[in-house]
Structure 1
Amino acid sequence: MAIFGPSDDLHGSRFNDTDLRGSWFNGCDLSDATMRGGNMQGAEIDDPWLLRDGGVLLVNGIDVVPFVRAELLRRFPGRATMRAADPEGLRAAWAAVEQAWASTMERAAALPAGVVDESVDGEWSFSQTLRHLVMATDIWLRLTIEGIEAPFHPLGQPNDGFAEYGYDASVFSPGVPAYAEVLEARAGRVAMVRGFLARLTDGDLEDKHPNPWSPHREESTRSCLHVILSEEWEHLRFAVRDLDALAKRV
């Protein structure tokens, strides 16, 4: 099986009558790709960025993004609030995402012991997803907005390439922590966001902060909160998807 990595530049390539059945494209930039005359039955596309303003995906000449967006809003009530612009709206948006996660947490709690640490198709386990949300809160709230010097919880799950941005990945604990500890860390960070939003004023929203991944760019407090909300909703979607698969195993 051929494996292509970051050092392989395939942009602009043409694949004519090529058998790509069962291929995986992880973290690949397929923007403006054209696929014609292909068999896409059973294919799966997961692109969180597609649903942002201006996203277009044509299938047989039809833009399917509006249909996908509408279906996600139906499946995840409250998701539409993630771009709230004022303090009251942001507080309501966080309450909505907390409520949405509550039912998923109950579902995970009903699984046999250890299943929360199982991966589906090489993706993060349910426990790792919660740990990543801890890290996301730390980087966008504690580091970027609040400027805390040591913002990271040791149970956080960093992104791939975290260290490449100059951060010390050794602050995170190795191994697989006890799920009870993960739940405690997650609950603490959820409460932090709730507490921050309770104090938020209109005047705070336009405060500027260096983007944690590109320090030459500025982010407003509002845009940082939008990232946190987006992380919450997208990883909820991933978690629900993987819980569906895990439920079939037990």
Structure 2
Amino acid sequence: MASFTRSDDLRGARFVDADLHGARFVRGDLSGVVMRGVDVNGADIDAPWLLDGEGSLLVNGVDVAPLVDAELDRRYPGRADRRAADPDGLRAAWAALERTWAATVDRAASMPAGTVDVSVDGEWSFAQTLRHLVMATDVWLRRAVLEVEQPYHPLGQPNVEFEADGNDMSVFSTEVPSFAEVLEARAGRVAMVRDFLAAVTPDDLAVTRRNPWAPQYPETTLSCLHTILEEEWEHHRYAVRDLDALEAPPA
């Protein structure tokens, strides 16, 4: 099977009568791709940045991005508040998110032993997803907003780009933690966001911050909090998707 990686530049490539049945694209840039006369039956697209900026996704001439967003809001009560712009709205949005995650953690814990460490289709396990959200809080709250010099919890789960960009991985533990340890780390970071929001003011939200990945682009406290909320809801969606797959009867 042919494999193309980050070092392969396929920009502008043209595929004519090519058989891509069963192909899998991971972390690729498909923006601006044009497909004509294609069979997409059973295709599964996951694009967490679908609504960023002025983005769109046209299917037979219809922009389906707003439809997808509305359906996700319907499926996940509280998700629609992830763009709250004032302290009270942000506090309510975080409280709804906490309730949602608590129910999902209870669901995962009730499944057969070891389920939380099972990967579906090479994705992060449930435990790894929670560890990544610890990392997300460390990046966007502790590093960007609170400006903590060494913000990372050792149990945090960085994404593949973090290491590829030459960042120091020694701050993270190489040991696989127990699920109890993961839950403890996660609970601490959830409480940290809750406590920050409890005291935040409108003036605080407007303070300019440095983007932790691209310092040349300014952020605000509010935009950093929005990023945390986006990370939380997207990874919750992934987690539920994979728990559903694990509970589904064998085909």
Whether TM exceeds 0.5 here: the answer is: yes
The answer to whether structure 1 residue 54 and structure 2 residue 28 are counterparts is no
Which residue matches 1:128? Answer: 128
Alignment of 1:132-211 (within 5 A): 132-165=132-165, 167-211=167-211
Post-superposition shift, 1:82?
0.5
**Consecutive unaligned residues in structure 2, runs of 5 or more:** none
**Consecutive unaligned residues in structure 1, runs of 5 or more:** none
CA contact (8 A) 1:165 1:213 kept: no
Structure 1 residue runs of 4 or more that deviate by more than 6 Å after TM superposition: none
Which residue matches 2:32? Answer: 32
Deviations 1:216-241 (A, max 9, x none): 22110000000000000000000000
Which residue matches 1:9? Answer: 9
Post-superposition shift, 1:146?
0.3
Structure 1 counterpart SS, 2:144 = helix
The Cα RMSD (Å) is 1.3
Post-superposition shift, 1:41?
0.6
Structure 2 counterpart SS, 1:97 = helix
What is the TM-score normalised by the length of structure 2? 0.96
The answer to whether structure 1 residue 96 and structure 2 residue 110 are counterparts is no
Deviations 1:123-145 (A, max 9, x none): 00000000000000001101110
Post-superposition shift, 1:249?
6.3
CA 1:249/1:147 → structure 2, altered by over 3 Å: closer, same or farther? farther
User: 1:53, 1:79 → 2: CA distance?
Assistant: 18
Which residue matches 1:70? Answer: 70
Deviations 1:197-250 (A, max 9, x none): 001011101111211101122110000000000000000000000000111269
More displaced stretch, 161-170 vs 91-100: 161-170
What is the TM-score normalised by the length of structure 1? 0.97
Aligned sequence identity (%): 64
Structure 2 counterpart SS, 1:32 = coil
User: 1:22, 1:12 → 2: CA distance?
Assistant: 22
Deviations 1:78-125 (A, max 9, x none): 111001111111111111111111111111010111110010000000
Which residue matches 2:235? Answer: 235
Deviations 1:24-55 (A, max 9, x none): 11111111111111110110000011133533
Structure 2 counterpart SS, 1:231 = helix
User: 1:216, 1:52 → 2: CA distance?
Assistant: 19
Structure 2 counterpart SS, 1:137 = helix
